[in-house]
Structure formats: C-alpha cells, structure tokens
Structure 1
Amino acid sequence: MPETSTAGMGGVDTHAHVMRRGLALSAERHSEPARDVEPEEFIAILDAHGLGYGVLTAPSFYGFDNSVLLEALAKFPTRLRGTANVAPGATVGELAALKAQGIAGIRLNWTKKAARPDAGSPEYRALFAAAREAGLHLEIFLEGPLLPTLLPHALDSGVDIVLDHFAAPDPALGVNCPGFRAVLAALETGRCWVKLSAPYRLGGQDPAVLAQAMLAAGGAGHLLWASDWPWISHEEGRSYAGCLADLAEWVPDPAQRRTILVDTPKALFGFR
C-alpha cells in the first residue's frame, strides 16, 4: 500500500503494535503474537476512523530486536513514529540513528517481571542521559506502585517521560496509590505525559476518575490518547471505534479532547 495524503487528518493514536510470527521471542515474555499484524492494516484503521498518524510501540516479546518496527516506519515515514526497546550501553550516536529512522522514544517495559534493573545504576543513568541528548523521550510501562523507584532517576536525568496506560495505579488504591501521587507530581514538572489507554488493564478502576485527576495536575497538554491496538492478550470484545468513544467519556470537554488527540501528540512525536 503506498503512503497516502493525510490532508485534513490530524489525530494521533500514540500506542499500537505491529508484529510478525516466526521470529525469535524473549525468554522473559508475558505475551506473544497471536497473528501477523502489518503496518498497512494499522494505516487502514487510522484512515477508516479519520486519524492521521500513529505511534508504534515495540512489544516486549522481541527483546531488543526492533526490526519489524523499523520496517514499518520506513514504509510510512510521515504517518508513523515509534518507540524502541534498547539495551543499556546504547550511545547517543546509536540513539540518534534510531531517531533518524522515525523513533521518538526508548521504552522500558518492566511490567510483570520477577526482577527489574536498578534505574539508579550507572548504566541506566547513562542511558537516560543519552536519550535526552539524542532528543528521545523515555516511555515507561511499569506497575504504578513501583514508579517511585524509577521516576526520580528519570526526572533527575532531564529526559522527557511518557507513561503507558494511565500509569497503572494499584487497583485497590486508585488515585491514592503512592505511585499515582508521584505521577501527579511529575505531571506538574511539565516533563511528563501519560497515555489514556487500555482501561481493561486497570483492574476495574474508573478511568474517568484517573483522567480527571491527571487533567487537574498537568492539564490536557500532558495527556495523550491511545488505542493499544491490536489489544494483545485482551482482544475479545474490543473495537477501535469503542476506544475512541472511551476518550469522550473520560474527557467530556471537546477542546481538551482536541489537545489530547491532536495538538499535544503531534508536537511530542514530531508530526507535521
């Protein structure tokens, strides 16, 4: 499918995945590809719902192999950006080379791990600094109660931070989760953004309550919307239209929704 014009289309889906079966998978994976998902399918979905752009997030099951992601970005360079999984030790030059291929951030997918790296170690402090120097943000997917062990190190490095899936607060505590309180404080710094996405990963919490708390702390300019398509391990009963409708429930104000869906992500991810 050739790249098509996006005239009149501005919205951005900031978290989706492409994948291909038959590739080597990480031993630590907590999911795996159920089918092949090519970028042409995602572009068709964006077109069908009047959206102009998408951000492809590297799934954890490929480890540090970003080849499927980079291939997709090369096919649709004006409509797609990506976040890549990179190993500690990546240099500023290596990260800048990824940025030149459409990568906007590096991802730490540390959820559901038996053991996690030390974010304050010299190798991770160096990685965060290299990302900052290369003009990339740090995308974090981690259980909310554990964010206070990571956020201070990321903030101290000066790198911009994007948190996945409502920042995943403890379902039993919701807005009172200490990790979520740390996220609200991070939003107030102006260097942190949170994706309103994947409400089915919240353990029954009311996503509208979380969204309104974050709007109060950081404003619409620090929130993003995402579909989490194709809903890995949560495919049953999902629809893309339903994901878009969710945003209207969480954020009733149309001006705020436009900021979240269009203005903020276009600037953050470098879409023109």
Structure 2
Amino acid sequence: MTSAPSESGVHKRKPIFTAPPLSCDAHCHVFGPGAVFPYAPDRRYTPEDAPKEALAALHDRLGLERAVIVQASCHGTDNRAMLDAIAWRPDRYRGVAIVDDSFDEKALQALDDGGVRGVRFNFVKHLGGAPDMAVFDRVIDRIKGRGWHVVLHLDAIDIVPLADMIRRLPVPFVIDHMGRVDTALGTDQPAFRSLLDLARREDCWVKVCGSERISSYPFDAALPFARALVEASPERTLWGTDFPHPNLKDPVDEADLLDLVTKIAPSVEGQRRLLVDNPARLYGFTT
C-alpha cells in the first residue's frame, strides 16, 4: 500500500481495491470555503472548510471519477457551494439540494440546470429533527414532475413510524446511511426489517454508506446490514464516502471505506452495479 498526501494534508493510504472505471461517490459534501460561501446562521454545527478542491483530491486518491454532492444542513438552503462545485466538473458531478417552499419553478429550474437531481430532508434529531411536514409536502408536490427524487436522512428510530408516509411518496426516495441503524441490535431489529421492506420497492434506493457512523473500525459490524440491503435491492443501492464526515468524532481514512466494497458486493458485477451502473441510472450519468 502506498501513501499519498490527502485533501487535508495528512498522509492517508490509497485503497487496495481498484474501483471500476466511472465509479461514483454517491454521497459526499463540499463545505465553503466559508469566506466565499458562508454557513447558515441557524446551523447546528460549523464544519472545517472542505471546498471542491479537497473533494477532487480525495477522489484522485481513491480512483473515483464521479460524485453526487449532497447539500449539508450547515449551508441550509444556500446551495451555491454545491452548484459551484458541479459547474467546475459538470460531466462528472451531480447534486442533491436543500430547498424549502420559497423555491418557485424558476428557482427549481435553475437548480436542475446546475446539475441537481433531488432534494434532501433531515429528520435526524441532532440536526434539528423532522422538518415542517407542510413544507415537506409542498416541496414534494413541486418536484414530482421533474424526475427528481427525495433523499431522507433518518434516525433508525424513525423508520417504522415514518414508513407509511414514505410509501405514499409520489417520487422516488433514497434512504441515507443504511437508516443509521444500531448495529448492536442485529439485522432482525424492527427498524432494519422495515428498511429492507422499503428497499424491495421499485421506488426506493438505499445508500450502503455510513459504515463509520454505525460501527467502529474496521467497520465489520456494518457489513451484515450492507450485504442484506444489496441482496434485497441489487439495482437500487448506492455507495459513498460521506466526505468530510461531518460530526464524526473519530477520523476515518476513506480508503478503508472503499475497501469495504469488496465485502459488501463480492462479485465484479455487483461492484460495478453499486459504483457505476446504479448511480449512473439515478443521476443521469452516461455510461
């Protein structure tokens, strides 16, 4: 294994696994720089700057060619940092925005023209909890004719109570980070059984990322959950780094996360689906 200067200046290794051509990091963020793209006044946390150049350095180290930049709550509904990054590499990047019901058709079209293909809502308690559901419903109504999807960032405890609402959504939906399940409760826990039921639906996609959020290094406790999701939905699972890992206590080397792919999807065909074909289909990349 060789080391390379990372996006933060700390030496991190290159992955053992060689990702197939056109592989996509389907969940990552850009933060700031704050002097150019200020953070939201009502944010729940203030991250260190992680601009587009840092994201590109990460992907160069990992050997990933595409990315889906997910708007994080620290920037609120100001999507400019994300849009700036997409404009920098428009053939390789797509985005997921945070919007509210102040976004009219013109504003939504500008996001679409800028490479956005979905909206994200946080239900996670430490990020402020459930959104105003009236606003949520109005946003969903406005995007349903655009071919966009909604990304749902949930706590595991919310999956069962929200499952009926999720099933009624008129747009495809994506569940972040394997539903942030508690790995100590096993794959038979009600929250994960409910997530598997959702994953089998034609309109549901699940990100088998966030292993570093639901388990400790070397992240083996997350593997049974990721494998079960890939088995339940081989053509609608996605993978990402979650760079730069906001609100994560312990540092993580993204090469460790990429190397998990060979354990999550052991076959070459499965790896290509997870990293290339599935994100290309959802986000409109040309394979």
> Does residue 169 in structure 1 map to residue 169 in structure 2?
no
> Does residue 53 in structure 1 map to residue 66 in structure 2?
yes
From 137, 141, 150, the equivalent of 2:149 is 137
Aligned partner of 2:110 in structure 1 is 97
> Does residue 181 in structure 1 map to residue 180 in structure 2?
no
Aligned partner of 2:213 in structure 1 is 201
The structural deviation recorded for 1:48 is 3.4
Distance 1:149 1:216, change over 3 A: same
The structural deviation recorded for 1:66 is 0.9
User: What are the superposed Cα offsets for residues 59-94 of structure 1, whole Å, 9 maximum, x if unpaired?
Assistant: 111111111111111111111111111113544553
The normalised TM-score by structure 2 is 0.82
* Larger relative contact order (CA 8 Å, sep ≥ 6): 2
Distance 1:134 1:238, change over 3 A: same
Gaps of 5+ in 2: 1-19
Gaps of 5+ in 1: 1-7
CA RMSD for the aligned pairs?
Answer: 2.2
Aligned residues: 260
CA distance in 1, matches of 2:129, 2:263: 37
User: What are the superposed Cα offsets for residues 81-129 of structure 1, whole Å, 9 maximum, x if unpaired?
Assistant: 111111135445532331111011101122124542354x4x4223223
From 236, 261, 267, the equivalent of 2:275 is 261
Identical columns (%): 28
Give the secondary structure class of the aligned counterpart of 2:50.
Answer: coil
* Preserved contact between residue 122 and residue 130 of structure 2 (Cα < 8 Å): no
CA distance in 2, matches of 1:78, 1:252: 29
The normalised TM-score by structure 1 is 0.86
Structure 2 residue identity aligned to 1:225: W
User: What are the superposed Cα offsets for residues 5-63 of structure 1, whole Å, 9 maximum, x if unpaired?
Assistant: xxx9310000111112342434251x3222x2221332233233322101111111111
> Does residue 117 in structure 1 map to residue 128 in structure 2?
no
Bigger drift between 153-162 and 54-63 goes to 153-162
Aligned partner of 2:42 in structure 1 is 27
Distance 1:144 1:236, change over 3 A: closer
CA distance in 1, matches of 2:180, 2:173: 15
Structure 1 segments, 4+ long, off by >4 Å, are none
Structure 2 residue identity aligned to 1:59: A
Aligned partner of 2:84 in structure 1 is 71
Aligned partner of 1:10 in structure 2 is 22
Distance 1:70 1:250, change over 3 A: same
Bigger drift between 187-196 and 123-132 goes to 123-132
* Preserved contact between residue 128 and residue 154 of structure 1 (Cα < 8 Å): no
Distance 1:246 1:233, change over 3 A: same
Give the secondary structure class of the aligned counterpart of 2:21.
Answer: coil
Aligned partner of 2:12 in structure 1 is none
CA distance in 1, matches of 2:162, 2:108: 21
Aligned partner of 2:99 in structure 1 is 86
Bigger drift between 92-101 and 70-79 goes to 92-101
* Preserved contact between residue 95 and residue 134 of structure 1 (Cα < 8 Å): no
* Preserved contact between residue 230 and residue 264 of structure 2 (Cα < 8 Å): no
